[in-house]
A and B are shown apart, each in its own frame.
Chain A
Amino acid sequence: MNDRPEVFRGNRIFLACIYWAFVLYVFVPLILMVLMGFKDSNFIGFPIKSWTLDWYTGVFADAEVLSTFGYSVAIAVLSTLISIFVGTWIAVLLEGRKFWGRTLLFGLAVLPALVPGIISAIAFRIYARWLGIEPGMGAIVWAHAVHNVPFVVLVVMARLSTLPKSQIEAARDLGADPLISFIRVTLPYLVPAILGASIFCLLLSFDDFVRSFFLGGYEPTLPVLIFAKLRSGMSPEINAIATVALFLTAAIGIWAERFTRRMNKEN
């Protein structure tokens, strides 16, 4: 990789240790979760006296769980697309420009992220009613999209602040108008930030309970279903559901990554 002087080597080993310790920290609970899905009991925890595959096979046999998963994914993707579009636009407006009310606008842009979950959920519910939005998928997508915009704004602004001005100027000198120079220069530069922000948004939406609960109709999202099931105890069934959901999202993620890579190649 890089053949640097050996002062770097010691550092590197040290940092590698920290990295793998961190990996251990984030993966141990995950492994426990997967493991507990095999426990033959109605409650998770040690000791595990006997094992079973029933919880996992049960998940695949349960149409409700699978459709709930699909519902949650659809909500996450739709709301993320909206958040990215709006958030990027706001970031482009705010970064590197001085105008009256900029700080105010920035404050308003990050507002939804500041409000505690339960408050924001109830505020959305009251506001939705005022706007005449019916509870259901549309309402959840809307609430998630609005709530996630600040994260996009923050991440995209950070990246935008490092965009060399000379690049835009060069494009403008070549006769590109603002829109084309945005699409041809700024947007490609923003791709990593937009991807990062998308991950935030997808995660936040996929994991959100309180907004989904207040704005949802009779079809639960995955966290809503899990919360309801949790009332009768933290059963290995919930672990199995979460594990299956994890593997399915990972599969979708890998497929999407491959797909975009192929698209890029073909172009």
Chain B
Amino acid sequence: MSKLIFNRRRFLGTTVATGAALTSPAYLRRASAQTGGEVNIWTYNDFVPTAFREQFEADTGIKVNIRLVDDQGKQFNLLAAEQPNPTVDIMTVAGHRFLQFIESDLLAPLDTGRLKNWDKINPTFSESDWSTINGNKWGAPILSGMEVLSYNTEIVSEEEAQTWDTLFSEQYKGQTAYIIQDMMSIIMLKMGYDGNMVEYLDDPDKAAQIVEEAKAFLIEKKPLVRKYYDGGAEFQQMMVNQDIVLGHSWNGPAAALINDGFPLAMSIPREGSYGFVYTFNIANNAPNSDNAYLFLDALLSSPEIGAEMTKASGFISTYKDVSQHLSELERKSTSFPDEQLANMQFFRAEANELKYSLVDPAVEAIKAA
């Protein structure tokens, strides 16, 4: 009920009905004044477990407002339009997108000293190469995703799924799909280059040449692909409809299909692949920054919360000791054999400006070809 009241106040305050607000019952106005304040979060559906949210609200008296978002770009645009007076405290950014947000002054550095549960995060994620920029930490890692090869086990063999080449074989012509931007990085890696382009920061010509090579490859293979897709839901639907039998995807959407009993499996092919980490970040000039720290600390406090987040999203938890809180199937759909994990590296942001100034036009060209 308090949610309704809150929203009504917001509505009244923002429309012509200022007069009505003044005459509204006194208890209505007092209701929001006496709470322990609020914390505003932009995040994906199911990233903040409902049970945790309710518990947190009961414990602290802080009202948690969640605004559901569906991609990184929209969050960036929205925040950019709102700065320097954002309505948001905590937002969800993928680690390798940090730089873009940081350079536009949208994020505040994270003071990890204020989070006593910081060490409950697996250091693989909290101390990784991408996580420190300009000497600061910028976000608390919560879930990790990977670029994987997903395949219908009734049609594609485990053997075939060990290489990205299968995705471009004549045998599966018209039965494959991938996210083209992500595929560019993977193709560069497959060709033996650094898909993060950090190595070519000082050699833009070399970088351009590599992107050109990857672009030519994907244009050549264009007749084989069924669909360049954008969202995980599209990928799942193509699999269910058997419009495709294998494709590149993020592990989260694939895991959700596996947990639903669909005959799907994932692999990290031997040529290698990339991973990324979703982090909760505090916005620059956040209106309730103290509450945001309280929220983050509470969220990190127990591996059970991490397990809940994994169950709901299909992504891998960044918390220590999560696996004991997962079922057999959930554990299976969120873990990989060690020899495959060895092929994985994280996306990095240092060379993003160079990389995307080359990759974005290449993607346009591939689509237009």
Q: Which A residues have a C-beta under 8 Å from some C-beta of B?
A: 41-46, 67, 122, 125-126, 129, 133-139, 141, 213-214, 216-220, 224-225, 227-234
Contact = CB atoms under 8 A, between A and B. Distances in A.
Nearest to A71: B7
Contacts of B87: 135, 217-218
Interface string B302-314: 0000000000111
Contacts of A229: 45, 68
B15 A44 contact: no
Contacts of B70: 227-228, 230-231
A218 B46 CA distance: 16
B69 A228 contact: yes
Contacts of B44: 228, 231-232
B231 A230 contact: yes
B253 interface: yes
B317 interface: no
A214 B46 contact: no
Contacts, number: 103
Contact of B260 (A42, A67, A139, A213): A42
Contacts of A41: 260-261
Contact of A232 (B13, B66, B313): B313
A63 to B, nearest CB: 9
Contacts of B69: 228
A234 B11 CA distance: 31
A25 to B, nearest CB: 20
B241 A45 contact: yes
A137 B241 contact: no
Contacts of B78: 125, 213-214
B209 interface: no
B68 A225 contact: yes
A232 B46 contact: yes
Interface of B: 4, 7, 10-11, 13-16, 40, 44-46, 65-70, 74, 77-78, 81-82, 87, 231-233, 236-237, 240-241, 253, 256-257, 259-262, 312-314
A217 B233 contact: no
A213 B232 CA distance: 20
B240 A44 contact: yes
Contacts of B77: 122, 214
A136 B236 contact: no
Contact of B14 (A45, A122, A139): A139
A129 B260 CA distance: 44
Contacts of B15: 137-138, 141
A128 to B, nearest CB: 9
Nearest to A214: B78
Contacts of B261: 41
Nearest to A142: B15
Contacts of B260: 41-43
B21 to A, nearest CB: 12
Given A44-B240, A231-B231, A136 B67 contact: no
Given A139-B14, A228-B45, A232-B46, 6 more contacts: A42-B260, A134-B10, A138-B11, A218-B65, A220-B67, A234-B236
A125 B13 contact: no
Contacts of A217: 10, 67, 87
Contacts of A141: 15
20 contacts: A43-B257, A45-B237, A45-B240, A46-B241, A122-B77, A135-B87, A136-B10, A137-B10, A141-B15, A213-B78, A214-B81, A217-B10, A217-B87, A220-B68, A229-B45, A232-B45, A232-B312, A232-B314, A233-B232, A234-B236
